[in-house]
Every structure is written in C-alpha cells, then in structure tokens.
C-alpha cells in the first residue's frame, strides 16, 4: 500500500524500519515454531476454530455473494473499547517503541495490501506469517518477533488472531509516533495459508499504475495519497523517522530527489516521486501539506478501511 518503510512502497510497503528490509516473491513456508503461540494446545484450538470458521464460509457462496457474507460478518465484529481490545492495546504498548513502529506499520500494509476486489483474494488475514520468505517481506520477521511477545501474553488470557493483533498494533504504531488515535474492530479470522504472490504495488509504478492498483483494491486516489503518508516514518528521509506528521507531503512538494548528487537524491521511492507528478494526486498532496489535521482524519479513515479489506469475520 505496500512510509518510508521498505524498498517496496507503501504502496507495497510502509517505510521500512531499516534499509535492509525489502524484496519479493518466495516459496510458501509455514511460520517456524518461534512465531507460534507458546502453548501447543492453544495453537491446536486456534487452528481448529479458524478452520471451522472457513468451512462455514465455504458453504455460503451458494446462498450469498462473498461481499455480502463479509458485510454481514462485519456487523457482528467486536467493537473497540471492549475488555479484549484494551488487553491487546496494553500488551502491544509494552513491546512497541517508536523505533519499532515503522516496521510494525509496514507489516499491516504487507498483510492487508494483497486484497483484490475482483478476485476476492487476500486482505487482512494474518497470511503474512506464511509469506515472510518472500523478497518484498524481507525484514518483517523482526516485527513478527516483537508482536509474538505480546500475543503470548494475550493468548494466555484471551486468544487473539494474528490479523486482529497486527491491525491493532499498526494503529498503536501510528499513535505512539504522534499520529491520530485509531480504533479498529476485532473478530478477524486468520488464513491457513499464504495469499497469492505479486499483489503488492511495486515501487517502480508511475502514478497511473499506482492509482489503477489501488482502485483494484477498492481505494480512491485520495485514499492512496492519504495512506502513502505512512511513509512519513521510517528510513526514507521524510521528516523525523519516528514522527508521524505531514512532513511526507511537504517534502514531496519540494522534490529534493531532483537535486544532483548527495543524500537528497535518495529520499523516497520512485513510487513516492511519481505521486507529485500527477495532477489528481498533487491536489491532495498540497491539501495534506497545508492541513495536518485533514491528513490525520483521512489517514485514520483509510487505515480502518485497509484493515477491514477482505476480512472474514468470526461471527455470522
């Protein structure tokens, strides 16, 4: 979606927390034991429950279109401010620092960013755990290890899916860096395998390609520009690496990469540079550069839409 997060754009990444985080496609590998809950019985119960959930959905397409199924389930999702939600926030905050925020936020984009509306595949489903060996997901194992510590503590009290944990953790990453408070619903089912490869936007896409890619995922051009603002944290040179603000847009308008030589030529990804060359994108870039509150509000709304993309909710 894909912050200066990685070599893959927000558009395909969210600013990689370190320059080493990058790459793309890989063979399917199940998560290693160190990424699984500490209690085998809990793992078995979780998989069994998740499998039953997917079986229920598999029997429904003959009755309802998938979009209707997802919509019905979302209505029964657990809303924020419940005991479960507050527990997740508390444990995430114990393991999340500003320095780890960009990597965790990037994890959200790489999990949810595989969604395709026409194919009804991908989305916020925790499948990224099966995709860690893909080049575009390089470096995300570190963020998984961080969240595994929180998940172990949460599971001991109330089991949580990886999809829910990542969605909440990304929201906390934004807030801990000074961004808007974002609340997301709970109740996402985890996938039992990887999503199709090659669905994250590529860093080499021009503005037209980015808009088409995001439109296939159900996002408007405005939402593309708003979500791209996540690159304001991380290592790509947009403002402070741990400050979530509207610096991304201010830097885009300055086009520092156009300067010959020096570190300024390395700011941002080609896909970031492309946005400012498109008139439609430029209008939103200028708005967000001038009005940080508008950016925060639009990012918050787009983030909630992102983490609800392609979700199979637990309750029908």
Helix residue spans in the chain (DSSP H): 40-58, 66-75, 83-95, 98-112, 140-155, 162-176, 207-216, 221-228, 247-254, 270-275, 279-290, 292-307
For residue 116, list its beta bridge partners: 121
Strand partners, 121: 116
Which residue has 């969240």 as its token pair?
A: 147
Instruction: Please provide the size of the chain in residues.
Output: 316
Exactly one of 11, 110, 215, 231 is catalytic; name it. 110
Tokens standing for residue 269: 């990804």
Query: What is the C-alpha to C-alpha distance for residues 171 and 301, in angstroms, rounded to an integer?
Result: 11
Per the annotation, the verdict on 110 as an active-site residue is yes
Cα–Cα dist 198/127, whole Å: 14
- 126 and 162 in contact (C-beta within 8 Å)? yes
Give the C-alpha separation, 124 to 15, whole Å: 19
Tell me the C-alpha distance between 129 and 223, whole Å: 26
Do 28 and 194 touch, CB atoms closer than 8 A?
A: yes
CA dihedral 156, 111, 315, 149 (to 10 degrees): 10
Report d(CA 300, CA 223) in Å as an integer. 10
Query: What span, in angstroms and rounded, lies between the C-alpha atoms of 182 and 304?
Result: 8
CA–CA distance, 39 with 53 (Å, rounded to integer):
21
Q: How far is CA 307 from the centre of its chain?
A: 7
- The set of residues, in sequence order, having a beta carbon less than 8 Å from that of 183 and lying 6+ positions away, is 80, 81, 85, 171, 304
Active site residues: 110
């Amino acid at each position: 979606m894909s912050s200066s997060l990685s070599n893959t754009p927000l558009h395909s990444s969210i600013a990689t927390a370190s320059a080493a985080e990058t790459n793309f496609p890989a063979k399917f590998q199940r998560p290693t034991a160190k990424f699984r809950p500490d209690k085998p019985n809990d793992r078995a119960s979780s998989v069994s429950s998740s499998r039953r959930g997917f079986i229920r959905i598999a029997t429904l397409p003959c009755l309802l279109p998938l979009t209707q199924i997802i919509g019905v389930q979302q209505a029964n999702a657990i809303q924020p401010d419940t005991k479960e939600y507050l527990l997740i926030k508390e444990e995430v905050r114990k393991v999340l620092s500003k320095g780890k925020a960009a990597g965790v936020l990037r994890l959200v984009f790489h999990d949810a960013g595989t969604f395709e509306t026409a194919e009804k595949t991908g989305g916020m489903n925790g499948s990224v755990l099966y995709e860690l060996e893909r080049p575009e997901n390089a470096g995300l194992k570190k963020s998984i290890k961080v969240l595994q510590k929180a998940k172990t503590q949460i599971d001991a009290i109330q089991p949580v899916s990886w999809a829910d944990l990542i969605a909440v953790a990304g929201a906390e990453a934004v807030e801990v860096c000074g961004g808007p408070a974002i609340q997301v619903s709970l109740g996402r089912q985890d996938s039992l395998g990887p999503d199709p490869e090659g669905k994250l936007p590529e860093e080499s896409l021009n503005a037209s390609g980015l808009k088409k890619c995001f439109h296939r995922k159900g996002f408007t051009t405005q939402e593309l520009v708003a979500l791209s603002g996540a690159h304001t944290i991380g290592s790509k040179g947009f403002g402070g690496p741990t400050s979530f603000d509207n610096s991304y847009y201010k830097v885009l308008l300055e086009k520092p990469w156009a300067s010959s030589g020096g570190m300024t030529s390395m700011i941002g990804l080609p896909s970031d540079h492309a946005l400012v060359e498109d008139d439609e994108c430029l209008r939103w870039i200028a708005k967000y550069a001038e009005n940080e509150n508008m950016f925060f509000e639009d990012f918050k709304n787009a983030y909630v839409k992102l983490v609800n993309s392609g979700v199979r909710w637990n309750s029908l």
